Amino acid sequence: MVEYNNASSPPSGMTTWRAGCGESRTSGSEGGPGKPTSREADRAPRSDPYTEHRTGEGKLYLCAIKDVYSNRIVGYSIDSRMKSRLAVAALNNAVARRGDVAGCVVHSDRGSQFRSRKFVHALNRHAMVGSMGRVGAAGDNAAMESFFALLQKNVLDRRSWATREELRIAIVTWIERTYHRRRRQASLGRLTPIEYETIMTTNETTTTTQAA
């Protein structure tokens, strides 16, 4: 999970990012080894069995970054290997999409990808501040676990996948077409992430104009 705060990022409410980096799984539940399920819970993570989701060519891994202001996946990276470059690429993708991120606080779980020199260097390069969850904390990844559970149910477990590219296209299509633009979310007032951002950006622009 990655969390990011930036009061200067428009609209001003967009203050938090979270990201998860891991294997596609055959389990559709939201728990899992080392995966917290409640931000305030002070208990051990669930120990649901997780296995890699395989294509005919082998495993596929996804790192995704969510802006919890709008629940939009602002950055993601997909690769055949879970290395630090996966997390770095997702972070760079999010930075490219959002723009000015100087001063952001990036909160992650304690996965090796987020502790790597390459990821720390990427944070420094973008003038971000790194932060990590406590060891054994059960409250740092619920937002991303919810997203991954939806992805598992709606894409990964629907059928078998012959190639990594076939599954990669399916993941990207679901994120950009369905999750962002079709899936209405109760926490957003039954709006999609794109609708919510559009409305809030318009409202803030109007307010700023009137104040001027």
d(CA 207, CA 212) in angstroms, rounded, equals: 9
Least confident of 60-69, 120-129, 152-161, 174-183: 60-69
Q: Which of 48, 12, 14 is nearest to 30 (CA)?
A: 48
Least confident of 12-21, 61-70, 73-82: 12-21
The secondary structure of 142-182 as a DSSP string is HHHHHHHHHHIIIIITTS-BS-HHHHHHHHHHIIIIIITTT
Element (H, E) at 121: helix 117-125
Of 129 and 24, the one with more pLDDT:
129
**Model confidence pLDDT, tens digit, residues 67-124:** 878 899 999 999 998 889 999 999 999 999 988 888 777 777 778 888 899 999 999 9
Q: How confident is the model at residue 12 (pLDDT cuts 50, 70, 90)?
A: very low
Q: Is the pLDDT of residue 173 over 80?
A: yes
The CATH code belonging to domain 17-211 is 3.30.420.10
Q: How confident is the model at residue 204 (pLDDT cuts 50, 70, 90)?
A: low
Domain boundaries, the chain: 17-211
Most confident of 36-40, 142-146, 179-183: 179-183
The answer to whether the Cα torsion of 105, 110, 111, 114 is positive or negative is positive
Helices (H) and strands (E) counted in the chain, each on its own, are 6, 7
